[in-house]
Structure 1
């Protein structure tokens, strides 16, 4: 058995909207791998609901946040729909990087990783533990606070905070 160095990974998610926690995972993935594709999922229907923002809006917010933070070298943002393993094969990625905040994240992500391994045995699953300062941050919490008129500046990049204020005005 030969081992090949993984040089390209995918960081998938709905990013509805992108948070500082997402940005941290992307930044850390880029520190580990020379090529990172951030795959914005069309709609994964979490908890039976769709996304608050359109696919185009989510891609645009993510690209803006990465650009504003000087995180464009070696990072590509693309929309996708369908199976993640097929997307990774098409893009030539050798791994999937996911952030973990709590044990509930681990249980869900482990199931997904196991399924991905069954469907694509050569695709590695890489888990990055959340930085303590972002362990409580989630897109659903951000949307809830923003919908009630609360300040989300400490949870999301500035361009996303502006978009949320306009969206919920």
Structure 2
């Protein structure tokens, strides 16, 4: 397909949640190909390795048929460099609350300065997913809470196993 519209949805996805899946599903409808770009994000000290996070994202996509035009890739370094390398036209960013906007807007402006060919598109979280974040999911499970409404069963099991191995 000539002039294929390629979008990137970047993040650490540590772990991927139903909120991420919602954005992936919706973003996949506005581009020909969506790359779920999983950042190594060593500075964030992720719970799961880059390989595990890619595997969990692929499981979400394959098992639950979220989108056939989504590809999982990992990257390290500047997002705009990765976007240019894969021929992306835009970056998708999900917004949960007004507080997300300030940071995301700053990042969009900086990315635009680094590579003016790449646009940023903001997608608001759907109402039922506005409060879901990987950080909160990890905190809830670490305290013995039920995260069934926020992640698929396989990811819930991995998180429980992770915290059981720490005790």
**1:72 to partner: Cα distance:** 4.6
Aligned pair 1:107/2:119, yes or no?
A: no
Aligned pair 1:73/2:68, yes or no?
A: yes
**1:150 to partner: Cα distance:** 1.2
* TM-score normalised per structure 1: 0.92
Aligned to 1:35: 33
Q: Is the contact made by 1:6 and 1:95 (CA closer than 8 Å) also made in structure 2?
A: no
Q: Is the contact made by 1:36 and 1:76 (CA closer than 8 Å) also made in structure 2?
A: yes
Aligned to 2:145: 150
1:47-72 CA deviation, whole Å, 9 max, x = no partner? Answer: xx411111111111111011111135
One of 82, 86, 99 as aligned partner of 2:81 = 86
Aligned pair 1:139/2:137, yes or no?
A: no
Local SS of the residue matching 2:72? strand
* TM-score normalised per structure 2: 0.93
Aligned to 1:22: 20
d(CA) in 2 for partners of 1:7 and 1:55? 26
Local SS of the residue matching 1:51? coil
Aligned to 1:13: 11
In structure 2, the gaps of 5 or more residues are none
d(CA) in 1 for partners of 2:146 and 2:115? 42
In structure 1, the gaps of 5 or more residues are none
User: Structure 1 pair 51/101, CA: closer, same or farther in 2 (3 Å)?
Assistant: same
Aligned to 1:117: 112
**1:126 to partner: Cα distance:** 0.3
d(CA) in 1 for partners of 2:41 and 2:133? 16
d(CA) in 2 for partners of 1:23 and 1:61? 12
**Equivalenced residues, count:** 162
